[in-house]
Amino acid sequence: MEIKKKDIRALTKEQLRNFFVEQGDKAFRGNQVYEWLWQKSAHDFDAMTNISKETRKMLEDNFVINHIRVDQMQRSSDGTIKNAVRLHDGLVVESVLIPTETRTTACVSSQVGCSLDCRFCATARLKRMRNLNPDEIYDQVVAIDNESRLYFDRPLSNIVFMGMGEPLMNYNNVLKAIDKITSPEGLGMSPKRIVVSTSGVPKIIKKMADEEVKFGLAVSLHSAIDEVRTSIMPFNATFPLKDLREALEYWYSKTKNRITYEYVVWKGINDTQEAADALVKFCKFAPSKVNIIEYNPIDNGEFQQAPNSAIEMYQNTLERNGITVTIRRSRGKDIDAACGQLANKS
């Protein structure tokens, strides 16, 4: 019977060191292998050239490196790149590289499918198959960094967890991935260049505050009226706005970090002055920024982008109340890479 090999990237540095000691080797070999895995992003043991062939063979006999594979890469007319990423078990997720004049941003996935049920999002129509492992999240970042260097001649500058899945429903693995991405023993990126976007899981937002995480927080809000939010994001019945607001107040009291809200304005759903006033009231307790995002239809159904007059009404209402607002135009629409469109269509 074939013994199933363990993925070596599931081991901590200490466990790697102990493994080598048990094999009669020196502990520092574990440090060398760890560096190859997380700093140099090695995908096979033969790449580890400062380790003897015998040791590499021993690693091959005992472990695998379950790295991702970019199955398909699509390039948008605006420069955006979408990757269809195949995981070791054959499942597929998507990640996106978004270039601007001054930076490149990776939009990465945290789940295969999604735990939540937002009615306007293509990913929510996919069944949640499983959470991504830390190494699978890390590998998406490495792949996009390589593409950024190849196509835009500069390293990746920012990461947003706004791809497929609800990051806070895979919190432990997301945290481990961010640790590998930001650690000097990993990719060494600044946590200040990372934003985790959530639809709002109050308990985990409080946990993040208690753990004093250094990355940014964005909340996909879309309505500050419970009845409306529940109609478009049914899980709001379980995590109502009162609980979300209390968690965000706690987050701000602990971190003093400005909160970013992601907000889409839809025709006939949240395009009224009442809805804009409710948003102002919800935001007022802490310094905040509202990104009003252009909607990307996923079918010809009820969710349609509100007219420019409604966007201007929101912008004027927010600015009049001292709240920073940015209007975000979508990128990569022609390859289904824009916000809310990731659904493995490629």
Where is the binding site for S-adenosyl-L-methionine, in residues?
A: 165-166, 197, 220-222, 296
Cβ–Cβ < 8 Å for 201, 244: no
Identified catalytic residue from 107, 136, 283, 339:
339
The beta strand positions in 132-281, using DSSP E, are: 158-161, 194-198, 216-220, 259-263
Q: Out of 60, 94, 101, 262, which one is annotated catalytic? A: 94
User: What angle do the packed helices 202-210 and 241-255 form, to 10 degrees?
Assistant: 10
- Rounded Cα gap, residues 299 and 195, in angstroms: 28
Those residues with Cβ within 8 angstroms of residue 240's Cβ, 6 or more apart along the chain or in another chain:
226, 230
Kind plus residue range of the DSSP H or E element containing 10: none
Pairing of strands 130-131, 111-112: antiparallel
Residues sharing a CB contact under 8 Å with residue 144, sequence separation 6 or more, in sequence order: 81, 83, 95, 96, 97, 104, 106, 108, 156
Binding-site residues for [4Fe-4S] cluster sit at 114, 118, 121
Any catalytic annotation for residue 35?
no
Residue type at 221 in one-letter notation? L
One-character DSSP codes across 42-56: -SSGGG-TTS-HHHH
| Dihedral angle of Cα 183, 184, 187, 190, to the nearest 10 degrees | 70
The strand ranges marked E within 141-271 are 158-161, 194-198, 216-220, 259-263
- The answer to whether 170 touches 134, Cβ cutoff 8 Å, is no
Which tokens in the block code for residue 62?
A: 């005992």
One-letter amino acid at 45 equals: F
Is residue 94 part of the annotated active site? The answer reads yes
Q: Which residues are annotated as a binding site?
A: 114, 118, 121, 165-166, 197, 220-222, 296
Name the residues annotated as catalytic. Answer: 94, 339
